[in-house]
Amino acid sequence: MKIAFLGGGNMAGALIGGLLAQHFDVAAISVIEVNASARERLAAQHGVRVIGAPDAATLASDTLVLAVKPQDMRAALTSLAGGIASQLVISIAAGLRLADLSRWLGGHRKLVRCMPNTPALIGAGISGLCALPEVSTAEKQRAGRILSAVGEVVWVDDEALLDPVTAVSGSGPAYVFWFIEQLAEAGVRLGLPAEVAGKLALQTVLGAAKLAAQSGEAPRTLRERVTSKGGTTEAALRVFAEEGLAERLMRALEAASRRGAELGEEMGKGD
C-alpha cells in the first residue's frame, strides 16, 4: 500500500506517526503540503517524502488521504484534476459530504468519509467511517487500517449518521473537557485548593474512563455499583435527575448533530 496525504496538518501528522509506529514503510508515504514550514516539520519529524504540489509519484499512490481544512478542500482538489483514477480516496475533513467530494473530483466514487476526533493526536481517538457503494470490502479494510493507526474505528452504512457521530465523538472531547472544568471549579467553590481540585477532577475522569473501558461492564452497572442507597453519590445523582441533566444533554447533542448537517449543506453549495 502506498499512501499520499493531501495536507500535512496535525491529524495527518498523527496518522503518519501512528502508521510508522506500526512499522509501515516510510518510503510508501508521501505528503503534499503547500506550506514550507509544515513541509520541513513533517520531513524532520517523520522522514517521509514531502512536496509542495502533486507529482507523478504521489498520484500513483493507491490511497489518497484528504487532510486539508474543509473550507480549503474544494480549491485544493483542483490540483488533482485529471490525476485521480482508481485510487481509494479517504477524507478526514469534517462535514464535507461524499456527494460533494465526488463532484469536486470529477465524479470519482471510490470514496470513504471519516470523522476522527482530537484524541487521535495521542493515538487514543475513535473515528466514524462511511463509504460509497463502489468501495470494495478490501478497500474498506484498508481505510480502517489507516484510521486505526490513531485509535478505534466504527463503520456506519448511512452517511447521515456521521452527523450524530460528530455530535457524540467528534465534539465529545469538548464536553468532557467542560465537565472536567466544572468538576474542578465545584471543588474550589467547596473549599479545595485549585491545584488539588484540578488534579482530583482530571484523574477521576481519566480513571473512570479507563475502568469503563477495561472492566467489560456497562457504564450503568458501574454507576449503580458506586451508588449506595442513602449515600453521597445518590444525593448528587438525584440532583442531576431533578434538573433534567440527561434531557439537556440530549438537546445539546441534537443541536450539534443538526449543525453538522447544516455545515455540510453550506460547504457543498455550488458546482
**pLDDT tens string 205-230:** 999 999 999 999 999 999 999 999 99
Helix axes 10-21, 36-46, angle to 10 degrees: 20
Tell me the whole-structure pTM to 2 decimals. 0.91
Q: Could you give the domains of the chain?
A: 3-160 (3.40.50.720), 172-261 (1.10.3730.10)
Asked whether the beta carbons of 205 and 184 are under 8 A apart, the reply is no
pLDDT value of residue 270: 63
> What are the backbone dihedrals phi and psi of residue 4, each rounded to the nearest 5 degrees, phi first?
-115, 135
**pLDDT tens string 109-145:** 999 999 999 999 999 999 999 999 999 999 999 999 9
DSSP SS3 for 131: strand
Mean pLDDT, all residues of the chain: 94
Q: How far is CA 206 from CA 117, 179, 213, in A?
A: 17, 12, 11
